[in-house]
């Protein structure tokens, strides 16, 4: 019926405004990193229960990519941050 | 051969006007000049400072470093030119006068009508006059701005304007709503 | 005056008589009645047949826990099955019918099940329908399906409208009884935004049927004053006829408001139901408590009802449950009902109290049987006597109704819907809500405070705490003076020993005490197993009435405390919600917005046939007079483009403008082909990969300025590519100075293709379009005659000399009209996406029919585009994987049908001549097909193992699904103008 996500730019919004990409933990390897590193990045995902970090995009709002840290069992949301800020970007 | 092109509005022939000036009114603007301003990376604050409303245009927040700028005074070309001069290297300016449609919903039930499709709390203390944000209205993304206690502007992608007007009519089904092009 | 209507009293409007029908019989009631109270008043006690045994059943409750009185209200497309008569507001013209009976309620063939009941014990369908296995699909399943379910729905389209609304508040109060009203008053006076929700059509909850005086007056007077005051607070919303059915993440509550369910005439301008999503900072559940039935032999006989329901019918509706009522209780509540009924002149046949040491005082003249119990009831369609047992001595007591009270269970359902488990209270012999944090608290009877004074105090106290937590000054609440009140204490009695007939635990699902014993013996003693095995607490009922007794019985049989048995899982919905309400206005054209191209009007004027393409409506072909099939139109359009020229609407392609000093670098990493050195004023075909090396999307990249690009996407992937770019810019490379914006809706874009394209376009465009001035892949702003600015791109999908012209959307139709006029002498025609598809297949251009997520650039014949010397781009690293470079990968080829009259179908498989169809022999697949008017035969694009080495080979195109097998010749996928002479002309 509803879940609310607090977008750092737009405020509290229902989950319908977002699209979820998946695990935000993997970092894209350097171009010449090992086969294993690339295989892990592209294909391998853990599926833990509990606290997770995910990439959500606020598609119907500011269109920013966000990192949502939440519990996939209790649905508690711990933090929502801009993905660029999470990567230490220049914005 | 004459090359005097006449622009048509996307809602010409499809607006389904509900005539009169009822308690609540939805006005579709024909000739609002609309531009999107994208702050150059690292220059969001400077761009925001320059975009403070000056009577000739109004800037509405869309996302970090991104605004819709509306003007009833400027033509599309002059709005873009004016903004480009003012903003200089701080931002990129894109004409969207044909890409978006601006509408105004006004009346005592305006917030209640919008609550039939919008999840954001529109209580005047929670969404004050002057605030703007992009949000979902049923299935469509719209930029909503409160321009008065009982007055909201909606800006929507052109190709969704017909669907938005149809939706707003349904959202207002329990309320008294007239719909027409704005007279200006 | 009807049979059981009392001479006076109640909150009904006796001056307002309302006509309604039940199973076709004309009956009447009063404004303020429920359907159930009106039926009782009319001596229509028998309202339904039970689910399994088809036993006659009567009204048991006066509220939403009703298990028996499920009726169908309305007719035709407005039928609402399984509506609880006990909460259905009576209105003029209401037409109700009973369910689960045939041919009639009084005589029901299915009642034979009751005689067969020893073959229909718990879990019978798991045992009975096991063999022979072949019988399942043909015999058992249809049989069970026909027997299952209660009411039936109807197929005609629902004529009514529904609405979905959001609401926000500081405090949501669920329930408008004493606790809820006190809480709402405190919060409202303290200036909070309050929503008060009540499932009944009248606000007041228990105060409407309570007799204890408040400030010396009937308590409903207090409730009316409170409601009047609440109406006066601007921040308060009162929602009667609204049921909160679910508690969701982040303190969002789902509620359904019955806007027009209490009227025979529907105002089409308004919804019949409204689904609310209420975002509450805090919520108080003042949902009251549910009285528990007693599990005794024959307790399902019509006329047996809850004691509190008998009180409510008498006090609120002025209806007597019977003329002579036997009361069976394990606590004080039975005495309160005895007092309520006696005060209204109803005879009490006897008050049977299971306790021996009770000190409650019965009304004067009422016979009390202490330490007794009912072991059986007599009567068929209405109870006429009970058999009471005390210490082995039995007596038959004549009566025409039984009021039972088995203690109280707080209504905690909502508080347990998000994983919290109910907590057993030994002191209250009931489950209480768990602590679930600040957002939601219980108040009043729902928190186990049953006395009226406690309810008022608790509601005010809980609201005060919330006001404080919100940092506001707390307004005062002076509790009215409470008259003599009842403390509804009781001594738990899970089942009454010595039952002589079936003692039901769950009336709706026909589960009786023995079924639970059987479940336990057969190893299904866990409460979740017992529920499924016996069906206790399933269906629309969800155990509202019977669950606690079931748990108590299981606990007693297992020799443990009910705390150890625990409860089954609570889930939304608390009461059934219609699909209409859940869908809201999202049906028909409102379910999925329709997008129309800026050239829609132009296409419509030229007679286009439109086709859905995602949300878009695209012009598919433009039939002319005399053309009988779509193929005739498409063939003509293709030939016209190849010989003269055509104009096609390509506005739906995604268009994204990219800005910034790092724009070129960003695009260079996004596309697999090089972008850095693209000159200003030029366009280039671009291919995006996924990180796994497969093609993601294709389009064009145009450089409009040193730091300003325009990229196009396919129509289908427009939204996806934008998100992909945003992810790359924000999450992968936030250090790159780049910004972009979708400009798809700003531009009307048309393709002008064919040998005459330049001549036609030059008539409209000011700038020089000669090959020297505007060569192949030129891309820049031009000025149209009459001074309109436009963007022109010399790109071609058809393989002809072609341009794409983009003008601001509002000018699209006017410019297209001008081009059509200019092109008329040149033979210009409008063409649609079907002809466009034929043209691109003939030219060997790929679309998402080819780029299906399994295809690498090399598979598609585009391997040479890869900028392998670039340090990095998305998909680079994994595109060199062994599997993606294997020599026997399926490669794009063309196919020419060798039998002129036989076509090929996309999805068909390729087999070597003479090979048997098998996975091992599979040589590839067909991705796109068409009839080529240019070649005069059916052609296809296909992926064939090592295909580029096999031109000239005969291959079988095998389509088992449609039963078509065609012989084709493998060839180069570029069927038309492989030297690109037309393109460059």
Q: Which domains does chain B have, with CATH numbers?
A: 24-30+99-181 (3.30.1360.120), 33-95 (3.30.70)
Question: What is the token pair recorded at B134?
Answer: 């992009």
| Measured distance CA(C942)–CA(C922) in Å, rounded | 13
Decide: C482 and C214 in contact? Cβ < 8 Å: yes
Query: If contacts are CB pairs under 8 Å, which of residues 698-757 in chain C contact chain A?
Result: 723, 726-727, 730-732, 734-735, 737
Q: Which of A12, A62, A90 sits opposite B134 (nearest CB)?
A: A62
Closest among C711, C696, C721, C959 to C846, alpha carbons compared? C696
Positive or negative, the CA dihedral B129, B135, B136, B142 is positive
| Minimal CA separation from A48 to chain C, in Å | 19
Q: Cα C941 from chain centroid?
A: 41
| Minimal CA separation from B163 to chain C, in Å | 6
Verify whether the Cβ–Cβ distance A60 to B136 is below 8 Å. yes
Verify whether the Cβ–Cβ distance C735 to A89 is below 8 Å. yes
Mean pLDDT of the region C214-229: 97
Mean pLDDT of the region C817-831: 97
Residue B89 in contact with partner chain C when CB distance is under 8 A? no
Paired strand residues for C926: C942
Model confidence over B110-157: pLDDT tens digits? 999 999 999 999 999 999 999 999 999 999 999 999 999 999 999 999
Share of chain B above pLDDT 90, in %: 93
Q: Which of C246, C250, C730 sits opposite A64 (nearest CB)?
A: C730
Q: Which of C419, C726, C872 sits opposite A31 (nearest CB)?
A: C872
Question: What is the token pair recorded at C670?
Answer: 């996004």
| Minimal CA separation from C279 to chain A, in Å | 9
Verify whether the Cβ–Cβ distance B134 to A13 is below 8 Å. no
Chains with 3 or more CB pairs closer than 8 angstroms to B? A, C
Contacts of A62 in chain B (CB under 8 A): 62-64, 66, 133-134
| b/e per residue A9-25 (b: at least 16 CB within 10 A) | bbbebbbebbbebeebe
* Bond from prior residue into C182 cis (ω within 30 degrees of 0): no
Verify whether the Cβ–Cβ distance C737 to B42 is below 8 Å. yes
In the structure, what pLDDT confidence band is assigned to residue A90 with cuts at 50, 70 and 90?
A: very low
Closest among C149, C431, C421, C174 to C283, alpha carbons compared? C174
Angle between helices C307-315 and C333-343 (to 10 degrees): 30
pLDDT on residue C141: 64
Residue B18 in contact with partner chain A when CB distance is under 8 A? no
Contacts of A77 in chain C (CB under 8 A): 250
A47-51, C147-151, C529-533: which is most confident? A47-51
CA distances from A63 to B4, B123, C740 (A): 38, 24, 11
Mutation target among A33, A53, A65, A75 for the C interface, most CBs of C within 10 A: A65
Residue B180 in contact with partner chain A when CB distance is under 8 A? no
pLDDT on residue A58: 98
The number of C-beta contacts closer than 8 angstroms across A and C is 78
Query: If contacts are CB pairs under 8 Å, which of residues 5-44 in chain A contact chain C?
Result: 12, 14, 19, 21, 24, 28-29, 31-33, 38, 41-43
Query: If contacts are CB pairs under 8 Å, which of residues 767-786 in chain C contact chain B?
Result: 784-786
Backbone angles phi, psi at C699, to 5 degrees: 175, -160
Contacts of B41 in chain A (CB under 8 A): 90-91
**Among C101-110, C562-571, C834-843, whose mean pLDDT is lowest?**
C101-110
Verify whether the Cβ–Cβ distance A31 to C877 is below 8 Å. yes
**Among B37-41, C117-121, C740-744, whose mean pLDDT is lowest?**
C117-121
| Minimal CA separation from A22 to chain B, in Å | 22
Contacts of C593 in chain B (CB under 8 A): 139-140, 160, 163-164, 167
pLDDT at C510 over 90: no
Contacts of B123 in chain C (CB under 8 A): 168, 193
Residue C811 in contact with partner chain B when CB distance is under 8 A? yes
Contacts of B99 in chain C (CB under 8 A): 743-747, 809
| Measured distance CA(C719)–CA(C714) in Å, rounded | 10
Decide: C280 and C196 in contact? Cβ < 8 Å: no
Paired strand residues for C73: C80, C96
Angle between helices C452-469 and C178-189 (to 10 degrees): 30
* Closest Cα in chain C to B44: C739
CA-CA-CA-CA dihedral for C904, C910, C916, C920, to nearest 10: -150
What's the predicted TM-score (pTM) here? 0.94
pLDDT, one tens digit for every residue, chain B (184 residues): 557 899 999 999 999 999 999 999 999 999 899 999 999 999 999 999 999 978 899 999 999 999 999 999 999 999 999 999 999 999 999 999 999 999 999 999 999 999 999 999 999 999 999 999 999 999 999 999 999 999 999 999 999 999 999 999 999 999 999 999 998 5
Angle between helices C527-534 and C513-521 (to 10 degrees): 120
Residue B141 in contact with partner chain A when CB distance is under 8 A? yes
| Measured distance CA(C380)–CA(C377) in Å, rounded | 9
pLDDT on residue C542: 76
Verify whether the Cβ–Cβ distance A62 to B64 is below 8 Å. yes
Instruction: Specify burial of residue C775 (Cβ count, 10 A radius: 0-12, 13-18, 19+).
Output: exposed
Q: Which of C249, C876, C877 sits opposite A75 (nearest CB)?
A: C249
| Measured distance CA(C182)–CA(C363) in Å, rounded | 31
| Measured distance CA(C638)–CA(C644) in Å, rounded | 10
Verify whether the Cβ–Cβ distance B98 to C808 is below 8 Å. yes
In the structure, what pLDDT confidence band is assigned to residue C815 with cuts at 50, 70 and 90?
A: very high
CA distances from C570 to B171, C244, C538, C578, C664 (A): 33, 14, 11, 19, 56
Closest among C294, C729, C775 to C505, alpha carbons compared? C294
Mean pLDDT of the region C955-973: 94
| Measured distance CA(C161)–CA(C270) in Å, rounded | 7
Verify whether the Cβ–Cβ distance B135 to A61 is below 8 Å. yes
Contacts of A12 in chain B (CB under 8 A): 120-121
pLDDT on residue B184: 59
Beta strands, E only, C451-518: 504-506, 511-512
| Minimal CA separation from B20 to chain A, in Å | 33
Higher confidence at residue C122 or residue C707? C707
pLDDT on residue C127: 64
pLDDT at C293 over 60: yes
pLDDT at C146 over 60: no
Write down the ipTM of this complex.
0.97
User: In whole numbers, what is the pLDDT of chain B averaged over residues?
Assistant: 95
In the structure, what pLDDT confidence band is assigned to residue C118 with cuts at 50, 70 and 90?
A: low
pLDDT on residue C153: 73
pLDDT on residue C12: 97
Mutation target among C760, C809, C814, C822 for the B interface, most CBs of B within 10 A: C809
The number of C-beta contacts closer than 8 angstroms across A and B is 52
Contacts of A61 in chain B (CB under 8 A): 63, 133-136, 141
Higher confidence at residue C167 or residue C52? C167
The total of other beta-carbon atoms located within 10 Å of residue C629's CB is: 9
Residue C595 in contact with partner chain B when CB distance is under 8 A? yes
pLDDT at C126 over 70: no
Contacts of B76 in chain C (CB under 8 A): 808
Contacts of C249 in chain A (CB under 8 A): 2-4, 75
What structural domains and CATH numbers belong to chain A? 4-86 (3.30.2270.10)
- CA angle C145/C583/C716 to nearest 5° reads 105
Query: Does residue C397 sit in helix, strand or coil?
Result: strand
Helix (H) or strand (E) holding B162: helix B161-171
| Measured distance CA(B118)–CA(B140) in Å, rounded | 10
Verify whether the Cβ–Cβ distance A88 to C691 is below 8 Å. no
pLDDT at C2 over 60: no
Mean pLDDT of the region C676-697: 97
Interface of A with B (CB under 8 A): 2, 9-14, 16-17, 58-64, 82, 90-91
Residue B55 in contact with partner chain A when CB distance is under 8 A? no
| Minimal CA separation from B6 to chain A, in Å | 33
Question: What is the token pair recorded at B36?
Answer: 């999107």
pLDDT on residue C133: 67
Query: Does residue C130 sit in helix, strand or coil?
Result: coil
pLDDT on residue C464: 98
Decide: C769 and C763 in contact? Cβ < 8 Å: no
Mutation target among A57, A60, A84 for the B interface, most CBs of B within 10 A: A60
The total of other beta-carbon atoms located within 10 Å of residue C33's CB is: 29
Backbone angles phi, psi at C243, to 5 degrees: -110, 125
């Amino acid at each position: 019926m509803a879940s609310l996500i607090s977008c750092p730019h737009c405020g509290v919004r229902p989950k319908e405004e977002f699209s979820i990409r998946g695990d935000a933990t993997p970092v894209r390897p350097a171009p010449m990193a090992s086969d294993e590193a690339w295989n892990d990045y592209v294909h391998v995902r853990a599926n833990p229960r509990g606290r997770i970090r995910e990439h959500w995009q606020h598609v119907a709002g500011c269109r920013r990519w966000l990192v949502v840290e939440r519990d996939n069992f209790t649905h508690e949301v711990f933090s929502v941050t801009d993905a660029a800020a999470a990567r230490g970007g220049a914005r | 051969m004459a090359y005097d092109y006449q622009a048509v509005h996307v809602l010409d022939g499809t607006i389904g006007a509900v005539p009169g000036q009822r308690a609540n009114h939805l006005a579709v603007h024909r000739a609002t000049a609309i531009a999107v301003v994208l702050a150059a990376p690292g220059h969001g604050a400077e761009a925001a400072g320059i975009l403070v409303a000056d009577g000739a245009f109004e800037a509405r927040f869309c996302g970090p470093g991104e605004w819709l700028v509306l003007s009833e005074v400027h033509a599309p070309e002059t709005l873009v030119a004016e903004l480009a001069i003012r903003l200089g290297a701080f931002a990129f300016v894109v004409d969207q006068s044909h890409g978006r449609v601006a509408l105004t919903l006004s009346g005592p039930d305006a917030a209640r009508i919008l609550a039939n499709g919008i999840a954001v709390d529109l209580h005047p203390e929670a969404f004050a006059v002057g605030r703007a944000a992009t949000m979902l209205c049923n299935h469509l993304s719209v930029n909503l701005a409160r321009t008065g206690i009982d007055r909201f502007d909606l800006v929507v992608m052109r190709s969704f304007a017909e669907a938005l007007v149809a939706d707003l009519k349904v959202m207002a089904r329990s309320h008294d709503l007239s719909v027409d092009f704005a007279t200006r | 005056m009807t049979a059981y209507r009392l001479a006076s009293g109640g909150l009904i409007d006796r001056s307002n008589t309302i006509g309604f029908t039940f199973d076709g019989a004309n009956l009447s009631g009063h404004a303020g009645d429920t359907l159930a109270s009106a039926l009782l008043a009319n001596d229509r006690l028998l309202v339904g047949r039970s689910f399994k045994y088809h036993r006659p059943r009567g009204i048991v409750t006066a509220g939403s826990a009703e298990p028996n009185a499920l009726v169908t209200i309305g007719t035709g497309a407005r039928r609402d099955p399984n509506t609880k008569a006990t909460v259905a507001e009576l209105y003029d013209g209401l037409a109700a019918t009973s369910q689960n009976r045939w041919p009639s309620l009084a005589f029901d063939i299915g009642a034979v099940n009751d005689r067969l009941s020893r073959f229909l014990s718990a879990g019978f369908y798991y045992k009975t329908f096991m063999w022979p296995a072949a019988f399942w699909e043909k015999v058992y399943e249809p049989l069970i399906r026909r027997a299952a379910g209660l009411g039936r729905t109807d197929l005609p389209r629902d004529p009514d409208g529904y609405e979905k609304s959001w609401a926000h508040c500081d405090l949501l109060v669920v329930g408008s009884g004493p606790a809820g009203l006190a809480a709402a008053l405190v919060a409202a006076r303290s200036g909070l935004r309050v929503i008060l929700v009540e499932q009944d059509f009248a606000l007041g909850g228990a105060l409407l049927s309570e007799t204890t005086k408040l400030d010396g007056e009937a308590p409903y007077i207090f409730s009316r004053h409170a409601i009047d005051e609440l109406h006066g607070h601007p921040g308060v919303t009162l929602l009667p006829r609204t049921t909160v059915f679910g508690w969701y993440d982040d303190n969002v509550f789902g509620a359904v408001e019955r806007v027009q369910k209490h009227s025979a005439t529907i105002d089409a301008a308004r919804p019949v139901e409204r689904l609310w999503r209420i975002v509450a900072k805090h919520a108080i559940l003042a949902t009251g408590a549910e009285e528990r039935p007693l599990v005794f032999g024959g307790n399902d006989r019509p006329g047996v009802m809850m004691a509190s329901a008998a009180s409510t019918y008498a006090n609120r509706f002025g209806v007597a449950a019977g003329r002579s009522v036997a009361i069976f209780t394990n606590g004080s509540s039975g005495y309160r009902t005895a007092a309520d009924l006696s005060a209204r002149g109803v005879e009490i046949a006897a008050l049977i109290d299971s306790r021996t040491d009770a000190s409650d005082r019965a009304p004067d003249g009422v016979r009390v049987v202490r330490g007794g119990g009912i072991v059986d009831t007599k009567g068929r369609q209405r109870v006429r006597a009970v058999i009471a047992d005390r210490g082995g001595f039995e007596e038959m007591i004549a009566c025409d109704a039984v009021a039972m009270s088995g203690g109280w269970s707080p209504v905690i359902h909502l508080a347990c819907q998000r994983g919290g488990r109910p907590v057993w209270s030994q002191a209250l012999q009931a489950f209480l809500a768990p602590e679930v944090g600040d957002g939601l608290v219980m108040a009043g009877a729902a928190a186990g405070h049953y006395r009226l004074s406690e309810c008022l105090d608790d509601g005010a106290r809980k609201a005060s705490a919330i006001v404080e937590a919100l940092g506001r000054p707390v307004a005062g609440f002076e509790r009215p003076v409470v008259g003599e009140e009842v403390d509804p204490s009781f001594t738990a009695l899970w089942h009454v020993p010595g039952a002589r007939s079936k003692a039901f635990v769950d009336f709706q699902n026909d589960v009786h005490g023995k079924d639970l014993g059987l479940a336990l013996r057969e190893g299904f003693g866990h409460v979740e197993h017992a529920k499924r095995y016996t069906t206790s607490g399933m269906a629309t009922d969800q155990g509202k009435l019977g669950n606690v007794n079931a748990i108590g019985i299981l606990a007693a049989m297992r020799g443990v405390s009910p705390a150890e048995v625990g409860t089954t899982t609570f889930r939304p919905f608390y009461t059934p919600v219609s699909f209409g309400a859940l869908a809201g206005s999202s049906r028909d054209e409102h379910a999925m917005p329709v997008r129309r191209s800026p050239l829609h009007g132009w296409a419509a004027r030229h007679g286009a046939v439109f086709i859905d393409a995602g949300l878009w409506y695209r012009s598919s072909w433009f039939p002319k007079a005399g053309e009988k099939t779509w193929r005739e139109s498409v063939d003509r359009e293709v030939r016209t483009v190849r010989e003269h020229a055509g104009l096609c609407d390509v506005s739906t392609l995604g268009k994204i403008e990219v800005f910034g000093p790092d724009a070129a670098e960003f695009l260079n990493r996004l596309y697999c082909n090089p972008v850095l050195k693209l000159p200003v004023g030029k366009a280039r075909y671009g291919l995006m990969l996924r990180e796994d090396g497969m093609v993601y999307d294709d389009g064009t990249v145009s450089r409009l300025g040193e730091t300003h690009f325009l990229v196009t996407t396919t129509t289908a992937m427009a939204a996806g590519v934008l998100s992909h770019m945003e992810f790359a810019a924000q999450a992968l490379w936030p250090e790159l100075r780049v910004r972009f914006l979708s400009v798809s809706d700003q531009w009307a874009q048309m393709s002008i293709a064919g040998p005459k394209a330049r001549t036609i376009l030059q008539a409209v465009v000011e700038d020089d379009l000669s090959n020297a001035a505007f060569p192949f892949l030129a891309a820049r702003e031009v000025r149209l005659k009459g001074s309109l600015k436009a963007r022109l791109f010399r790109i071609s999908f058809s393989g002809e000399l072609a341009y794409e012209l983009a003008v601001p959307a509002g000018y699209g139709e006017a410019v297209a009209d001008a081009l059509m006029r200019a092109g008329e002498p040149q033979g210009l025609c409008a063409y649609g996406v079907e002809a466009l598809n034929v043209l691109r297949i003939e030219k060997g251009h790929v679309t998402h029919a080819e780029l299906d997520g399994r295809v690498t650039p090399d598979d598609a014949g585009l391997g040479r585009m890869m900028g392998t010397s670039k340090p990095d781009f998305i998909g680079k690293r994994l595109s060199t994987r062994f599997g993606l470079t294997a020599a026997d990968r399926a490669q794009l080829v063309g196919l020419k049908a060798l039998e002129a009259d036989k076509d090929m179908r996309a999805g068909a498989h390729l087999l070597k001549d003479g090979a048997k169809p098998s996975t091992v022999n599979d040589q590839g697949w067909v991705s796109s097909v068409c009839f080529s008017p240019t070649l005069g035969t059916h052609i296809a694009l296909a992926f064939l193992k090592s295909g580029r080495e096999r031109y000239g080979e005969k291959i079988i195109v095998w389509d088992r699904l449609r039963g078509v097998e065609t012989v084709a010749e493998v060839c180069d996928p570029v069927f038309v103008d492989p030297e690109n002479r037309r393109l460059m002309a």
